[in-house]
Amino acid sequence: MLEKIRHWRDQRIAARRAIAEPLWRYALQHCAPAQRLGPADQARLRVLVTLFLERKSIEPAAGLVLSDADRVLLATHACVPILALGLDWYAGWRSVIVYPEAFVPRRTQVDAAGVEHVSHHALAGEAWLRGPVILSLADVHQTGQVPGHNVVIHEMAHKLDMRNGEANGFPPLPRRMDPHVWSQVFASAWHGLHEDQRLGLDLPLDPYALESPGEFFAVASEAYFETPQALHATLPAVYQQLAQFYAI
Ligand SMILES: [Zn+2]
């Protein structure tokens, strides 16, 4: 019953706040994975994007003025990974903070010797455990310019991964999937990539994937949605696991 009521409420929101046609066309033009979907999936995505914009708070920072077109575009990228999983996979956090360009988080880390280090790395995106997602709009606009890259999908993959704690490349899996197979496939691909790197070979993924198993999952997810054929050709077992997980 609860499910039904929510469904009915969602339908009302989707109807009342439907995304204007020109904004939706702009989003599809700039989000290749959404553009590739069939008409029925695109219609479902449009409803999901409407609900995402209703439930999440997209907050411009550092003087950025965010247009409606960019809000819809951000939400469209963000909803591609959960088209089959559903919006509940993004429960437990609310804010998407958007900087105009790559941002430098103010963060101090104390190392084993007790020395404080201040981080100076500029980031295109960041996802906090139970906290906000932070994105650079310039990097969102560069999506697709480097094949396989999509900063929004990268950070959202971390969010899915964090459903069961720190981002470690092991999100909660739908019941239809075997966790042992997932671990085996990702561990074996991880070792293979490290071996390729050691031998100086070209990697099929952005080398950033080798930072940690959590980054591997996020980078592989970007490739799954942006350049699926290339991922399928180079890491077929990883592709199969992601196809089962995302189910689109
Ligand atoms: Zn990451």
CATH code for the domain of 148: 3.40.390.10
Question: What's the CA-to-centroid distance between 219 and ligand 1, angstroms?
Answer: 7
Q: Quick check: helix, strand or coil at residue 137?
A: helix
Q: Output the pLDDT for position 9.
A: 73
Q: What's the gap in Å between 35 CA and the centre of ligand 1?
A: 24
Instruction: Kindly report the backbone phi and psi dihedral angles of residue 97, in degrees, each rounded to the nearest multiple of 5, phi listed first.
Output: -95, 130
Distance from Cα 116 to the centre of ligand 1, integer Å: 23
pLDDT of res. 52: 97
66-to-61, 71, 105, 186 alpha-carbon distances in Å: 9, 7, 21, 38
CA dist 49 and 228 (Å) reads 22
pLDDT-flagged residues of the chain (< 50): 1
| pLDDT of res. 14 | 73
Instruction: Give the pLDDT score at 198.
Output: 96
DSSP 8-state class, residue 104: -
Beta bridge pairs of residue 59: 97
The Cα 226–Cα 33 span in angstroms is 6
Residues near ion ligand 1 (Cβ under 5 Å): 215, 218
Interatomic CA distance for residues 47 and 45, integer angstroms = 5
Query: Is 0.85 surpassed by the pTM of this model?
Result: yes
CB-based contacts of 15, cutoff 8 Å, min separation 6: none
Rounded Cα gap, residues 78 and 154, in angstroms: 9
| pLDDT (0 to 100) of residue 205 | 94
Domain that holds residue 196: 2-246
Structural domain total, the chain: 1
